[in-house]
Every structure is written in structure tokens, then in C-alpha cells.
Amino acid sequence: MKKTILLIALLFAANSAHSQIDFKQGSLADIMQMAKDQNKIVMVDVMTDWCKWCIELDNKVYSKSDVGNIANANQVNYKIDAEKGEGIDFAKKYKVTGYPTILFLDAAGNEIDRIVGYVPAKDFTEMMTDYEKGVNTYSYLKASLDKDPTNIDANSRYADKLMTLGQENDAKTYLNKIIELDPENKQGKTDDAKYRLASLSDKETIIKNLETFIAENPTSDVLKDAYVSLCEAYYYSKNDVETADKWYKEALAKFPNDESVNSSYGQFLNGRAGGLAEKGTGAEDYKKGLALIDAALPYVKGSVNEASSYYLQAKLYFNLKDYAKAKESVDKALVIFNRKLYRDLKDQIEKQLSSK
């Protein structure tokens, strides 16, 4: 077991410690001056030390050589903790409310655009390249749409940008415009617009609208996304575990190797196990939770959600007073994500072991 843990540690350490992006050190003023001197833009990764998707970004995006090559050639790259030092005022100034948020600034500190949340390496590279060129930014897309309001692609891109910036109600105007302009989906954007509108529905109608979309658009390129949204709506909005599980099984059958479907299902299983860890009333509940973690692990393997699985597994073993197994599990979680929450649980476990 010790050899296994060591191997996992080395693999994850290699990913996080060997970022291909050269993140500069110093104050914000130093970074902005550096950008000015080098005539480059600035990429600021606004993160926190508890943000699991920040770790995922480190492991799966920043570790890629092609991402690093582009970032290092065209930008001054910087990380800042939104809850420490200069990061506190910085996050307020740029109205950062979720993590990670990656800001792209000119040398004067004006925002060019941003990437919100975890984005896979391919998409991240494309967005980073566009922003450095001033392409597909908010202002660029708005100007394109002003120039040609009936351009379907411009409406689609602008709606997506508004959704990324949290302006969902404004986005609906442009999504509906796409449907009006191309009701027969000749340009392949109407089905995307219908899915996005369904996903933006209120709590009372989202399930009906997503189910209708799935039934009416069986060959859509966003069908997978609709399945995931529907599964999550049943679970998180309606707390209907049985129906959510049914739809997840259908999604997994249709898209067996898809990362987003697998990740969502793994988090669904983790969430159920977490509920039993927190609110279970005895050994039977805790054992059910462990079975859910066993089921989740294959779906979250290699992602930061694997750390969540091991942490919950440790809590369940702790509840069962199996402190030795609890320690093994929390150690695995800490190898993947050295988070305070996990360290605190390890301290509790070790106190129990030392008292024996």
C-alpha cells in the first residue's frame, strides 16, 4: 500500500510541480511593469488554496507543453490568491466571484477578457490565443454583432460570452434571435440555442424543457450536454436520486467514454456518499456510502474529484471507527490535493490512533 501511495504522489507531484507556464513572482506593480517593458498582455490566474478546479487546471492544462509555449511567448503570467495579500483587493476590483477566474489584461490593467472556471486544454489554448490577438473578446463580439445583427454565428458567440460572464438573461435575447433567424437549423446553431435556453430555465421548468430538447434533438452535437444538465437538475434541483440515476445510466450508455459525463456521474455518486457520511445514522448507512465511493472511483480517476472520493471514504471509515483505513484514504486524498479540510480530518484520525 505504501508503494502505491508513493507512486500516486510522484505522478501528481510531477503534474503540479512541472507547470509548463512560467508564472512570474513579485508584486502586481512588478508584473504590470514587466508587461509594459515586454509589450505583452498579462494573464492572471485568480485562485484560492481550497479551489479544487484550480488544481485541475494546474494538472490538466498548465502542464501541457503547447499551452505553456503559447502563454510564455505572448504573455506575462501570474498567479494571485483572492483571499490573501494584494489578491483581496484585486479580486474586488475585477469583480471575481468564482475560482478559478483567469483574467487577461493589457499593460495598463484594462481587462481584455476572462476565462471563468475549468476549461479543457484545447479550449483554453484557443481562447488564450484569441485574446492575445484581440479576437473573440467581449468587445470584439459586440462590435461584430453591431455590424451585422442578423449574423447567426455572431449571435451565438455573443450569447455564449454573455453566459460565461453570468449575464444569462441578456443571453436569452440572442439565443431566441438565432431560432427566429434559422428555425430549420440550416447553420447548425439553432439546436445549440434551444439547449442553452432549456438549461437556463427556472427550477420549475428546467426538467420538462431539457427532456423535450432531448426527445426532439436526438442527433444534436450538444445532446451530451443536455443529458448532463438533465441529470444534474433531477439531483441538485429536485433531489430525485432515482430518476437522476436512470438518466445517468442512459447517458453513460450513449457516451461511455466522455469525460464530462463520467465526471458528472462520479460527482453524483460522491454527493450521495457525502450525504451518508454527514447524516447517516449507523453502520449500514456508512457501508452504503463506502459502496458508492467504490462505484465513483473509476469515474473520477485522474481528476481532482478523486481526492474528494478518498476524503469521503476516510470520513465514512472514521464514522465506522476503522481509523487505520481512514488514514489510508485521507493520505490518498492529500496526495492529490493538499487541502486544509483534508489535513484537519487527518489530525482527527491520528488523535484516535494515538489514543489506542
* pLDDT one-digit tens code per residue, 87-98: 999 999 999 999
Range(s) of the domain holding residue 87? 2-131
pLDDT at 268 over 70: yes
pLDDT tier for residue 16 given thresholds of 50, 70 and 90: very low
Residue with cell 453591431: 146
pLDDT at 196 over 60: yes
Q: What is the average per-residue pLDDT within 62-82? A: 96
pLDDT at 6 over 50: no
Domain total in the chain? 1
Instruction: Point out the least confidently predicted range of 15-19, 225-229, 280-284.
Output: 15-19
Query: Which neighbouring-strand residues pair with 115?
Result: 102
Q: Does residue 244 lie in a domain region?
A: no
pLDDT at 9 over 60: no
pLDDT at 4 over 60: no
Residue with cell 490512533: 353
Q: Does residue 119 lie in a domain region?
A: yes
Q: Does residue 157 lie in a domain region?
A: no
Amino acid in position 138: Y
Give 26-34's long-range contacts (Cβ < 8 A, gap of 24+): 27/86, 28/78, 28/80, 28/86, 28/90, 31/76, 31/78, 32/105, 32/107, 32/108, 32/109, 34/76
Beta-carbon neighbour count of residue 92 at 10 Å?
A: 10
pLDDT at 5 over 60: no
Q: Which domain CATH number covers 30?
A: 3.40.30.10
Q: Does residue 327 lie in a domain region?
A: no
Q: What radius of gyration, in Å, describes the C-alpha atoms of the chain?
A: 23
Q: Does residue 172 lie in a domain region?
A: no
Mean of the per-residue pLDDT values of the chain: 93
Amino acid in position 280: G
* pLDDT one-digit tens code per residue, 150-189: 999 999 999 999 998 889 999 999 999 999 999 999 999 9
Q: Does residue 55 lie in a domain region?
A: yes
- pLDDT for 355 equals 87
Q: Does residue 56 lie in a domain region?
A: yes
- pLDDT for 14 equals 39
Q: What is the average per-residue pLDDT within 34-47? A: 97
Q: What is the average per-residue pLDDT within 248-266? A: 96
Q: Report phi then psi at 81, rounded to 5.
A: -85, 120
pLDDT at 3 over 80: no
pLDDT tier for residue 19 given thresholds of 50, 70 and 90: confident
Q: Does residue 276 lie in a domain region?
A: no
